[in-house]
């Protein structure tokens, strides 16, 4: 895949980039190695000063950075600005909490003194996706750098200007040379970089296929990895819910980022008692969405990120017609310039392609449940386990859903989202390890035991 900026609204390639040569990759690895040796010894106060400056630069540049996301992957203008503001908030969370999360801990044993310390590992490679091109990177970089590591970013090939802008933020904030670098490389170079002995660990957000590949490479080198992979998140609606709110959130949860989100709700499981009403309102709401120019604030669904994304969702929906699902609205590519797909609802979707596979686009799969137990079984009927949403006012149902849904995070009466204060990650084929919060910053540390007799 070429490293290039292609405007999803028009389909036109507006800028191409030369990939880093092997010699330049080697230079950047050397620089990262040198930078880590010095940066690991800096104080939390110094790292916090630099990270605070990065947060300030994000806010100062949020209009321009949001525009870059709109240009490169079609994000709605307002959503792009919101993403940059979220990055600034994530930076400030670790400015305020990193030292507390990594304080040495004393443990009473038979020693005179013993306990744990948390120390940085070294250079970490981040293989990042295009769908949240700033937030995905900053939720890795803020904790990793605050812990004393250094970062190397291999971003998706369709967002090179976002990748370079992120490097510029850290450079302009005053982080030492080599502490955060962007590598303009294709996926074919990842193996060589991970195998390099100077690299300590890696993290990837992306498909389960990409995760398997990175995990196998890193595993052969006995290197730590964190994987945040795909999702086919369930959205359970039970009779006691506020149905108006459930429908409103269901639409927002499916179309966020034009449906291109691993934690977007994708499979809607509705109790049969309220299914007719929910489906009628849900279909009407999805069909009425404004699709168009991501620069226009009236637009609710923008273009998909690339021609390949459109083709993938087209194939999945085409198969549904032969698998017993019923297309209640949408179901096809929109005939206009750019990469657009109509907001789509598929009823009787259990067992179809859009039920079994991750869908990256504004396509919702709906199925009916006989009771709470059946709803949980349907929700767990997936290879993925990233997030889950449920709407119910019954405390007993809420507790059972939290206990029994196979997911890294369960949200009751609200949409799944990432929050720097809470750990984020999945189970099953949605990956392993955690980002954000206390757990996230400790992922790329050596949890060192000390014992003094």
Annotated active-site residue in 162, 262, 329, 358: 262
Alpha carbon distances (Å) from 116 to 104, 200, 233, 438: 6, 20, 37, 15
Residues 6+ apart with CB under 8 A from 282: 247, 250, 251, 268, 345, 364, 366
Residues 6+ apart with CB under 8 A from 219: 225
Annotated active-site residue in 83, 167, 228, 443: 228
Q: How many residues does the chain have?
A: 453
Is 262 tagged catalytic?
yes
DSSP for 216-237 reads HHHHHTT-EEEEE----EEEEE
Residues 6+ apart with CB under 8 A from 103: none
Positive/negative CA dihedral, 245, 248, 254, 259: negative
- 368-391: burial string, b at 16+ Cβ within 10 Å, e else: bbeebeebbebbebbebbbbbbbb
Coil, strand or helix at 290: coil
Look at phi and psi of residue 319 and say left if phi exceeds 0, alpha if psi is from -120 to 50, else beta: alpha
Alpha carbon distances (Å) from 104 to 40, 278, 435, 442: 16, 52, 21, 12
Is 228 tagged catalytic?
yes
Distance CA 188, CA 159 (A): 17
Query: At CA 247, angle to CA 234 and CA 232, rounded to 5?
Result: 15
- Token pair belonging to 384: 């993925």
- 74-105: burial string, b at 16+ Cβ within 10 Å, e else: bbbbebbbebbbbbbbbbbbbbebbeebbeee
Query: At CA 450, angle to CA 448 and CA 453, rounded to 5?
Result: 165
Question: Is residue 362 a contact partner of residue 341, using CB atoms and an 8 Å limit?
Answer: yes
- Look at residues 296, 338, 257, 259 and name the one whose alpha carbon lies nearest to residue 75: 257
Residues labelled catalytic: 228, 262
């Amino acid at each position: 895949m070429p490293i290039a900026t292609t405007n999803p609204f028009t389909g036109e390639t507006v800028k191409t980039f030369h990939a880093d040569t092997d010699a330049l990759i080697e230079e950047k690895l050397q620089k990262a190695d040198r930078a880590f040796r010095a940066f690991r010894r800096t104080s939390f106060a110094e790292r916090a000063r630099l990270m605070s400056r990065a947060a300030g630069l994000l806010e100062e540049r949020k209009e321009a950075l949001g525009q870059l996301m709109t240009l490169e992957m079609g994000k709605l203008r307002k959503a792009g600005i919101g993403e940059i503001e979220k990055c600034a908030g994530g930076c400030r969370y670790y400015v305020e909490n990193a030292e507390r999360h990594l304080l040495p801990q004393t443990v009473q044993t038979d020693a005179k003194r013993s306990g744990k310390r948390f120390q940085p590992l070294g250079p970490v490679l981040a293989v990042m996706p295009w769908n949240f091109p700033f937030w995905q990177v900053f939720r890795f970089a803020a904790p990793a750098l605050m812990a004393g590591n250094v970062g190397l970013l291999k971003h998706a090939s369709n967002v090179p200007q976002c990748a370079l802008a992120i490097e510029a933020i850290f450079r302009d904030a005053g982080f030492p040379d080599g502490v955060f670098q962007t590598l303009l490389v294709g996926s074919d170079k990842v193996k060589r970089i991970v195998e390099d002995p100077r690299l300590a660990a890696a993290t990837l957000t992306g498909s389960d296929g990409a995760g398997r590949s990175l995990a196998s490479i890193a595993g052969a080198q006995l290197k730590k990895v964190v994987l945040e992979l795909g999702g086919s998140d369930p959205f359970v609606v039970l009779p006691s819910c506020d149905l108006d709110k459930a429908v409103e959130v269901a639409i927002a949860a499916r179309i966020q980022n034009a449906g291109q989100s691993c934690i977007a709700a994708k499979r809607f499981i509705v109790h049969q008692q309220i299914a007719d009403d929910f489906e009628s309102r849900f279909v009407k709401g999805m069909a009425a969405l404004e699709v168009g120019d991501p620069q226009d604030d009236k637009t609710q669904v923008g273009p998909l990120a690339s021609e390949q994304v459109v083709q993938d969702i087209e194939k999945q929906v085409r198969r549904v017609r032969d698998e017993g699902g019923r297309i209640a609205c949408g179901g096809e590519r929109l005939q206009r310039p750019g990469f657009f797909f109509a907001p789509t609802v598929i009823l009787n979707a259990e067992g179809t392609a859009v039920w079994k596979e991750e869908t990256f686009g504004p396509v919702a799969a709906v199925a009916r449940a006989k009771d709470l137990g059946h709803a949980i079984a349907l929700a767990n009927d997936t290879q993925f386990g990233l997030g889950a949403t449920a709407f119910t006012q019954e405390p007993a149902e809420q507790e059972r859903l939290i206990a029994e849904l196979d997911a890294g995070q369960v949200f009751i009466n609200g949409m799944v989202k990432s929050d720097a204060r809470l750990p984020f990650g999945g189970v099953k084929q949605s990956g392993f390890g955690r980002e954000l919060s206390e757990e996230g910053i400790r992922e790329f540390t050596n949890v060192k035991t000390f014992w003094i007799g």
